[in-house]
Structure 1
Amino acid sequence: MRVLLTGGSGFIAAHCVDYLLQGNHEVVFTVRSHEKGKKILSNHPNVPEAKLSYVIVEDIAKEDAFDEAVKGTPPFQAVLHTASPFHFNVKDAKKDLLDPAIIGTTGILKAIQKNAPQVKRVVITSSFAAIVNPKQNPDTYDESHWNPVTMDEATNTDPGTAYRGSKKFAEKAAWDFVKDNKVNFTLSTMNPPLVLGPVVHYFNSLDSINTSNETIRDMIQGKFKDGLPPTRVILFVDVRDLALAHVRAMEREEAENKRFFITAGFFQNSDVAKIIKDNFPELKEKLPKEMEPDIKEFPYKIDNSRATKILSIEWRKLEESVIDTVKSMQAAGA
């Protein structure tokens, strides 16, 4: 397939590129600048331009941001939309998080409908944030659950609520668009929790690392020597499994018009610290002496069977994910 991949310089997209190329797909990724595009291409020096190239999309929050990008020559058959803000540095919840996520999602669907009728498959990165109900967890989470946050709460409370709202309302907007319009494409959404895994050495400085990996970076830099912080998110997935899930959802008919809860299972910060201590003795002095679990019992169960079966994901264990993440950070100068 010929694939448009948005958010090309992002943590998830970088791994999507690898799996798309392994699957012999032709990839055009979006970036905000030529500098970023050239950096990504330089990491794939033996891949011809016909197989991997980029297009500039400066601001995903603009209504018509993707109108030109989706006009592929030759045409695209699929779009993987991974571009969306994820940070808690929020001054204005609507402007900084909600608008870019919602408009970016509906904007690309409108652009596909208007300018790219050959596109048959669209896969969007959503989040467990669109599923979770922080106030009242169900017994078991699966794809049927939706975060009950309201737009008023998302706009007027705290950055965490604003982020969860941005993911919920962006994904809802995507499903509503497909339901309310005559489109030529099917939709699949990926709903991962915390995403761990190797950083991309050619792109991420350790100062601007993806939010999900910040805790591991801070551990190995000795920032938690006096004690581990509480575990904020208790579910994880390895970025490579998430990237593969995107590609397989694009490739498989059984994945059409489905949500996927993409998680390998539970963890907490003490688990991560112990894995680092056991596998990187040179980092022992950077870690706290006491690494007791801050969670005695996880408050709900998970059902990730849809992703396991339909996308054939063999979930990486936390140990592999943490070890590979630390090695990649050491290679990047940690």
Structure 2
Amino acid sequence: MKTIGIIGGAGFIGSYNTQKFLNEGYKVKVSTTDISNKSKYEHLQNLNNAKNLEIVQLDVENKAELSSFLKGCEVIVHGGTPFQLDVKDPKTELFDPTIKGTENFLGAIQQTDGIKKVVLIASVAAYNTNFPLLPDGKTDGKSISENDEPFISEQSHPYAQAKFIANQAVNKFIAENPKLGFEIVSVSPVGVMGKSLSNREDSTSTGLQFLFKNKIAPNPFIKMFYDNDIQFAIVDVQDVAKGIYQSATTQGIHGKNYLLSSESYKVSDISLMLNHQSPVGKPSIIYSNELAKQDLGMSFQPALATLNGFDS
């Protein structure tokens, strides 16, 4: 039985990753930042094949803990960086754990024997820190793909900037280490939506769905979504987990970073679909998913199917 380590395997996306690999016959080692806080991960004990699950405390900024976590794993999925919109101290809350955590992680995997594949969960921000708005220079009707020059702005949200810089650190590491004994692949999901596998209330993804469903604007950033009725790109959380699994088990894709995206709708239509009503407008494709379809054999659920399943 192969062992996979999933950093952040109890979060919104992480829980689906954990379930996917358990279903596929893996022994799964999941990290948690605080082993004493069972509310963070106890829902994982109810997953299929949970007998093959191990929960381990891990601070990604602690190099000794990180090295210990990686030992014995053939596959590593790193999705343990925080996704939050309300930030008081960007350096402490976002930049350090995201960028330094990624750099520590890259150093640790290089020193760990037995690793065959590493999958990093990046973000659409690796290609466009303005998300959900278009990058500067792009106009409506033009799609964005992996071939486009990545865009970053200092005016973008700190979370997006941190993810962009972390992804650049990954690219630099790959360029500087051409003879690694394992493959590194990244995936960059757009707005991840779907039903949570836990009852936790700290998920930004499910929180955003709640805001859209009830047309709530807790801050100027979200208010801008409604005021401009922006086009918001969506991907189902189950498709993200599938994309990560396919990235982990497909050979010959070292160094690639796949956009994972389904359809884009105006926020007004997303609100309608979350309330089990039909959208007024038609979907568009802002972020291309052709490379993921080609290399990973992916297909993506339509937004309507994803949003109709959200009940909270």
1:241 aligned partner, one-letter code: D
Partner residue in 2 for 1:32: 33
From the superposition, tell whether residues 301 and 22 of structure 1 become closer, same or farther in structure 2 (CA, over 3 Å): same
- Pairwise CA distance, 1:142: 0.9
Taking the aligned partners of 2:161 and 2:271, their CA distance within structure 1 comes to 31
1:43 aligned partner, one-letter code: N
1:179 to 150, 175, 178: 175
Partner residue in 1 for 2:46: 43
- Pairwise CA distance, 1:276: 3.6
Name the TM-score, length of structure 1 as normaliser.
0.79
- Mapping of 1:95-244 within 5 angstroms? 95-114=92-111, 116-132=112-128, 134-137=135-138, 139-149=142-152, 153=154, 157=155, 160-181=156-177, 182-200=179-197, 202-205=198-201, 208=202, 210-220=203-213, 223=216, 229-230=226-227, 231=229, 234-244=232-242
Bigger radius of gyration:
1
Name the TM-score, length of structure 2 as normaliser.
0.84
Question: Which stretch of the first structure deviates more once superposed, 214-223 or 6-15?
Answer: 214-223
Taking the aligned partners of 1:323 and 1:95, their CA distance within structure 2 comes to 36
Partner residue in 1 for 2:19: 18
- Residue 258 of structure 2 aligns to a residue in which SS? strand
Unaligned runs of at least 5 residues, structure 2: 218-222
**Identical-pair percentage:** 23
Q: Deviations over 1:173-209 (max 9, x none)?
A: 1121122134322111111111001112x3423xx2x
Taking the aligned partners of 2:290 and 2:48, their CA distance within structure 1 comes to 38
8 Å contact kept, 1:117–1:184: no
Taking the aligned partners of 1:68 and 1:244, their CA distance within structure 2 comes to 27
- Residue 68 of structure 2 aligns to a residue in which SS? coil
From the superposition, tell whether residues 233 and 3 of structure 1 become closer, same or farther in structure 2 (CA, over 3 Å): farther
Q: Deviations over 1:22-72 (max 9, x none)?
A: 211111010112233760442237532xx2111111x3234555122112x
- Pairwise CA distance, 1:274: 2.2
Taking the aligned partners of 2:13 and 2:294, their CA distance within structure 1 comes to 22
8 Å contact kept, 1:140–1:302: yes
Unaligned runs of at least 5 residues, structure 1: 281-290, 330-334
From the superposition, tell whether residues 270 and 38 of structure 1 become closer, same or farther in structure 2 (CA, over 3 Å): closer
How many residues of Structure 1 are paired with residues of Structure 2 in the alignment? 294
- Residue 118 of structure 2 aligns to a residue in which SS? strand
Question: Which stretch of the first structure deviates more once superposed, 138-147 or 256-265?
Answer: 138-147
Q: Is 1:311 the counterpart of 2:308 in the alignment? A: no
Partner residue in 2 for 1:245: 243
Question: Which stretch of the first structure deviates more once superposed, 243-252 or 80-89?
Answer: 80-89
- Pairwise CA distance, 1:247: 0.7
Q: Is 1:77 the counterpart of 2:62 in the alignment? A: no
